[in-house]
Structure 1
Amino acid sequence: MSFEAKINAGSFKDSIESISRLVDEIKLNINQEGISSVSADPANVAMVMFKLKKEGFEEFHVDEEMTIGFDLNRLEDILSVASMGDEIEMQSEEGNQLSIKVSGFDYKISLLDPSTIQQEPKVPDLDLPARIVLEGNKIRKAVRASEKVSDYLVFSTKDDKFIITAEGDNDSVKMELDESQLINIETSEDVRSIFSLDYLADMSKSIKKASETKIRLGTDYPVKINFNIVDENGEVEYLLAPRIESESTTSP
């Protein structure tokens, strides 16, 4: 089995970072259509689904479907030497190794045995009643403001508004976005769910780069957050479980 690819360094960095926000190791599935992975964080609170079509690469070849294991921390160390305009060349080699050429360096890294990596989780089929589309940087701004007052964040909808709220012991912050401030909002009912700010803070670092971010939301259900990467040739979807309502997270 052989795999060869060439891709813009900035595009590949964005792709890998969107996954490494949650996990350190992945099984990367490679076939004629491109590359993909499905991973859950160690606590099974969040999932990340990643796809990058072959059209997102400058060159892409695989002779048969294969799965390889990556240590994302090691890969990010290598990518850190690249400038945004650089190209990255990858080629599988004998001995379960991958050659990576970037910025004049030729790295050879040992791949992980996929059988030693956590099994790909089953993605739940959720029919969520609220759909919000907005610029990704608005989520990042709301998360950063919320971090100053709380360790959780509430997503809710009411009267065709998307509302982001955080409440601490003494302080609170709220952002309301109406139809004029959103790209789109569709909801058949008002919804409300609470989420860990730690996870959303990590996710929002990748989400902020997206011109359009799609959120699917229900009441006390996981939230789906979806956005495109690499000139819409790639897609990332986060799934985050809600926090259980308690006295400390209930509005007075």
Structure 2
Amino acid sequence: MLNVTARQELLSRIADTISIVVEEARFDFSENGLNVRVVDPSHVAMVKLDVDAVAFETWEVEEAMVGLEMKKLKELISLGGADDIISMTYDGKGDVLMNLGKIDRSSRPLDNNTLNPPNLPNLDLPCSVTIRGSELAQAFRAARQVGDLVTLSIDQEKFTIHVSGPNDSVTVVYGHDELQGITCESPAKSQYSLTYLVPLGKVFSSIESVTIAFGENFPLAMDFTFSDGSGSVKYFLAPRVEQEGY
């Protein structure tokens, strides 16, 4: 049995985060909260999202796994304002019922057997930087104007975002004192696709602190929290083979 209500703002952040990677996802509801783990079809990007029950307005849950289409969920969410209340109920047998004000929407849940949450990697990444979400999102947008393959580089004193295009380049440098934190014993750099990072930037642009961890041609791990710490996102992105040059 599932009967939960939440502010539109919370559900919007959840749906936006998951839909960056997949179109369909299994939402695992437990007594303590919501857990979603997804990986994109090419196995390049992965998201782990956890939201404590206290972040919701009401939470009446017996353990349930519900497969949802992100497009349908976002369609209903888009009809409300940030403070509107959206409810979701499911008895484990029929349709998932959602309500927003006068609007009732029922959707058949997806077959959970076709939705297999991935195992998360256990990474020991040598370098990390913590930065304001709005600054990082802006840097990714600027880089995307020139190309798709971004180089992140780091040493003890600075964190650099760089992309080169056929005729242009963009470089954004944050010194040690401009960051909330930086850890790096030896210089490192790696390349990643902005196709995944720019949409995620829209999600964390309002977040006070975002932590990025990576190493020399290592996967990237990104962490941030929301809803006063009751929600958390861990995002993994595989590196691209680095080209000669910068």
- Give the TM interval when normalised to the shorter protein: over 0.9
Q: Return the offset for 1:94.
A: 5.6
Q: Return the offset for 1:27.
A: 0.9
Identity across aligned pairs (percent)?
Answer: 27
Where in structure 2 are there 5+ consecutive unaligned residues?
Answer: none
Other-structure match for 1:81: 79
Q: Return the offset for 1:107.
A: 1.4
Aligned partner (choices 219, 223, 226) of residue 222 of structure 1:
219
Other-structure match for 1:21: 20
Q: Secondary structure at the match of 1:215?
A: strand
State the TM-score, normalizing by the size of structure 1: 0.94
Give me the whole-angstrom Cα distance separating, in 2, the residues matched to 1:184 and 1:169: 33
What are the superposed Cα offsets for residues 106-137 of structure 1, whole Å, 9 maximum, x if unpaired?
211111111122x2111111100111111111
Aligned partner (choices 100, 125, 129) of residue 122 of structure 2:
125
Give me the whole-angstrom Cα distance separating, in 2, the residues matched to 1:233 and 1:41: 25
Q: Following TM superposition, where does structure 1 have runs of at least 4 consecutive aligned residues deviating by more than 4 angstroms?
A: none
Q: Match of 1:23, as an amino acid? A: V
Q: Return the offset for 1:158.
A: 2.1
Q: Match of 2:202, as an amino acid? A: K
Other-structure match for 1:100: 98
Other-structure match for 2:245: 251
Other-structure match for 1:191: 188
On the 8 A contact 1:15/1:229 being kept in 2, the answer is no
Other-structure match for 2:143: 146
Q: Does structure 1 residue 178 correspond to structure 2 residue 175? A: yes
On the 8 A contact 2:97/2:105 being kept in 1, the answer is yes
Give me the whole-angstrom Cα distance separating, in 1, the residues matched to 2:209 and 2:102: 35
Where in structure 1 are there 5+ consecutive unaligned residues?
Answer: none
Q: Return the offset for 1:230.
A: 2.0
What are the superposed Cα offsets for residues 190-228 of structure 1, whole Å, 9 maximum, x if unpaired?
110000111111211112121110111111011011111
Cα RMSD (Å) of the superposition?
A: 1.3
Aligned partner (choices 155, 164, 171) of residue 152 of structure 2:
155
Other-structure match for 2:5: 6
On the 8 A contact 2:156/2:182 being kept in 1, the answer is no
Q: Secondary structure at the match of 2:106?
A: strand
Q: Match of 1:109, as an amino acid? A: S
Q: Return the offset for 1:231.
A: 2.3
Q: Secondary structure at the match of 1:77?
A: helix
